[in-house]
A and B are shown apart, each in its own frame.
Chain A
Amino acid sequence: MIQPASPELITVNIDGREIAVPKGTNVIEAARRLGVDVPYYCYHPKLTVVGNCRMCLVEMGTPAVDPATKAPVMDPATGKQRINWSPRPTIGCATNALPGLHIRTTSPLVKDCREGVMEFLLINHPLDCPICDQAGECKLQEQSAGYGRGYSRYIEHKNVKPKRTLLGPRVMLDDERCILCSRCIRFSKEIAKDDVLGFVDRGSYSTLTCYPGRKLDNNYSLNTVDICPVGALTSTDFRFKMRVWFLKQTNSIDTESSVGANTVVWSREGAVYRITPRQNDGVNDTWMADSGRILYKDIRSQGRLDSIRLGGAESALEMAVKAVADLLKRGGAAVVGSGRSSVEEQFLSRKLADALGAKAWIVGRAGQGDGILVSADRNPNVRGALVTGLVAGVPSPSLESLGELIDSGAVVSVVSVGEDLAAAGLTAAQLAKVSVVYLGTHANATSAAARVVFPTLTVFEKHGTFINQQFRIQRFAKAVPGVAGATDDLVVLAKLLAAAGGPRLGAEIGPLWTVLAAEVPALGTMTYADIPDTGLLVDGTPWAHLRFAEGPGLHFKPPEPATKEASHG
């Protein structure tokens, strides 16, 4: 892996403590590294700086030099160079590290600045906390508690603005709560490339709006809800459903496409309430697509499989496994794995295929890439299938080649791990000709035609890893328990593997990884626990000659396909 060139470091002094930061770091970020909190609203590390909230005002000083000789002027009291403190405070977000920069964040002036800004933000702010979804994760609440004066001196009438306007299908706007930080406007223009939001009117009557007749309905609209520091922009899906302090947060990965946007799954007592992006500066910054956020609804959607079936009748795990073993003993098996399975599941699928002497497929899923965070490959883990050796090339969306083998009678059993074979092109006749073993979460034509059905888990109900378009392996964790009647995919696959005469491997991820790392060269000496929250880049050169579907996106530039020799050299 190439290390980035070491950036130029500049030493600054914050509240008497020194820290060296890369050139271009602003005071807020420098302070953060020191564990010093500089409050702000309008600043966002991934958006342009506007400096309009004024909450990050701090005191700034520079070392005193004699204007004529440029020699340092010393302070006899401290024996160090005197610092000239500017009487005018400066905003931290727009002040970049300079050699000798001194910052004070705890002085009486800074305290007064923060109390002043807080007071000003609250005078026209409605007393909505009891009914506002943002409560518990509201910057206004947090910072008024941390830095506000604690009482109100305002006795005039508050401004009245439009409340509960449907800004778009997924976003509700309350203009009275808006503090006019302009994060949403900047996001829509700079990241989502949909310049649809703006301020109308002037002064304190300024109001956020869409052009009349237009909507905020692009596929990134919910990011404005994430970054809105107050409850002005809220999610219609989450509206009034749950107080955030009751929710448990679990790290996960968006399975919508091979981007692998990092997410947080918010759940309580076994139910998921919402999904939000998780910061990963190498993959998705702090964003994700709206279409990935609703995937949690699959957990309880229509057709969720909830009982093991053998020949249509309810069965038990061991009996069903034995039945599968009997089917597979006849030979002529095929394994259809999935680009939506985890790396661990794909590894076991491959081991199963090896044990059966069977060919393996996965099903390709193509879509329109949007150049941001939804790629043209709608499988989250094709590269996992490549790395584990389950398949050797980029998959086709059609199982035509499998169909031919079924027609010729070479294949008489198909084990499908989560793929609807009919949707992948097998005809009803072909499906009827083979014995199908189906592992999956929802009913479909394949589960209906299957001899044995094992209900398994959605991504939200298990642990695992995916490898995204960057060849980055990323972990996802179990947020909620699986529905009653479903079994962990790894448990089923391990049992099938053993029943097929393969090695006895446990379904515990930790020990399973010892085997994985040993047998999969690309994973080197990795352990599951080692993988950091931001993932780890895997060496993708053995597959560099393949023509992947993805085009450029945020933090992704598709590499030029290398020649086969170069990639195997």
Chain B
Amino acid sequence: MMNLRPETLREIDEVIPHYPQKRSAALPLLHLVQEDAGYISGEAIEWIAARLELQPINIYELVTFYPMFRQKPIGRRHIKVCRTLSCAIMGAYRTCAEFQKQFATGLGDVSPGGEVTVEFVECLASCGTAPIVMIDDTLHEKVDVAKARALSDQIKAEAPSRAETPLSG
């Protein structure tokens, strides 16, 4: 059974009528479900499909197309390092390697202890202050190796209190 929070269900009910055709609400629903549950499960795909009077394949096609949707849980903190040209020129590969080293984790994996997932993503549209990193919803600019180390330390410092909260996206 889908165990979504009441607020999530309310927001789902609110957003569907924004569109003349129900199918358009697929992306908003996927975002809402992922923010609630941390990832999109098979059950969620079928639930969303039923809610929008679609076939599960119609939702599955979207989940696998868009990189922001994931079908497995990730670490408590989500570190996205931009890899595209301007950031790469300013050292993004080294920034990313530093985060991976700090948390002993591979790209896309959940780090040991479950604290972070590091991803190498495409242009985040802040090229003037490269290298760019997003940690959860927050943008961090000019993240060279030293700053990556500092941000990692901050994440680790916040970790014990975070460990109390349930794993979410």
Interface residues of A (CB under 8 A from B): 195-202, 209-214
Contact = CB atoms under 8 A, between A and B. Distances in A.
Query: Which of A195, A198, A200, A209 has the most C-beta atoms of chain B within 10 angstroms of its own C-beta?
Result: A198
B57 A201 contact: no
B61 A199 contact: yes
Nearest to A203: B65
Nearest to A210: B57
Contacts of A201: 64-65
A190 B23 CA distance: 18
B42 A198 contact: no
The 7 closest A-B pairs by CB, nearest first: A200-B64, A198-B57, A211-B57, A211-B56, A198-B61, A195-B55, A201-B64
Contacts of B45: 211
Nearest to A200: B64
Nearest to A196: B57
Nearest to A206: B65
Interface in B57-75: 57-58, 60-61, 64-65
Interface residues of B, number: 10
Contacts of B61: 198-200
Interface in B31-46: 42, 45
Nearest to B67: A202
A197 B56 CA distance: 10
A211 B65 contact: no
Contacts of B64: 200-202
A196 B42 contact: no
30 contacts: A195-B55, A195-B57, A195-B58, A196-B55, A196-B57, A197-B57, A198-B57, A198-B60, A198-B61, A199-B61, A200-B60, A200-B61, A200-B64, A200-B65, A201-B64, A201-B65, A202-B64, A202-B65, A209-B57, A210-B57, A211-B45, A211-B55, A211-B56, A211-B57, A211-B60, A212-B42, A212-B60, A213-B42, A214-B56, A214-B57
Interface of B: 42, 45, 55-58, 60-61, 64-65
A198 B62 CA distance: 10
Contacts of B56: 211, 214
A224 to B, nearest CB: 14
Nearest to B66: A202
Contacts of A210: 57
A202 B64 CA distance: 7
Contacts of A195: 55, 57-58
Contacts of B65: 200-202
User: What does DSSP make chain A's interface, helix, strand, loop or mixed?
Assistant: loop
Contacts of A212: 42, 60
B64 to A, nearest CB: 4
Contacts of A213: 42
A198 B55 CA distance: 10
B18 to A, nearest CB: 24
Given A199-B61, A211-B55, 19 more contacts: A195-B58, A196-B55, A196-B57, A197-B57, A198-B57, A198-B58, A198-B60, A198-B61, A200-B60, A200-B64, A201-B64, A202-B64, A202-B65, A209-B57, A211-B45, A212-B42, A212-B60, A214-B56, A214-B57
A198 B57 CA distance: 6
A196 B57 CA distance: 6
A162 to B, nearest CB: 14
Query: Which of A200, A202, A209, A211 has the most C-beta atoms of chain B within 10 angstroms of its own C-beta?
Result: A211
Query: Which of B42, B56, B57, B60 has the most C-beta atoms of chain A within 10 angstroms of its own C-beta?
Result: B57
B116 to A, nearest CB: 25
A214 B56 CA distance: 9
Contacts of A196: 55, 57
Contacts of B55: 195-196, 211
A201 B62 CA distance: 8
Contacts of A202: 64-65
Contacts of B42: 212-213
A317 to B, nearest CB: 58
A210 B56 CA distance: 9
A200 B60 CA distance: 7
A82 B61 CA distance: 48
A81 B42 CA distance: 62
Nearest to B61: A198
A195 B60 CA distance: 13
A115 to B, nearest CB: 30
A219 B58 CA distance: 21
Nearest to A188: B57
A209 B64 CA distance: 12
A212 B55 CA distance: 12
A173 to B, nearest CB: 14
B27 to A, nearest CB: 15
A198 B63 CA distance: 12
B99 to A, nearest CB: 25
A370 to B, nearest CB: 19
A198 B42 CA distance: 16
A421 B60 CA distance: 52
B63 to A, nearest CB: 8
A201 B55 CA distance: 17
A209 B61 CA distance: 9
A212 B63 CA distance: 13
A209 B60 CA distance: 10
A307 B139 CA distance: 86
B47 to A, nearest CB: 13
Contacts of A198: 57-58, 60-61
Nearest to A197: B57
A266 B145 CA distance: 68
Contacts of A214: 56-57
A526 B42 CA distance: 61
A200 B58 CA distance: 10
A444 B45 CA distance: 51
Contacts of A197: 57
Nearest to B42: A212
A201 B64 CA distance: 5
A495 to B, nearest CB: 58
A86 B154 CA distance: 59
A237 B60 CA distance: 29
A197 B58 CA distance: 9
Contacts of B60: 198, 200, 211-212
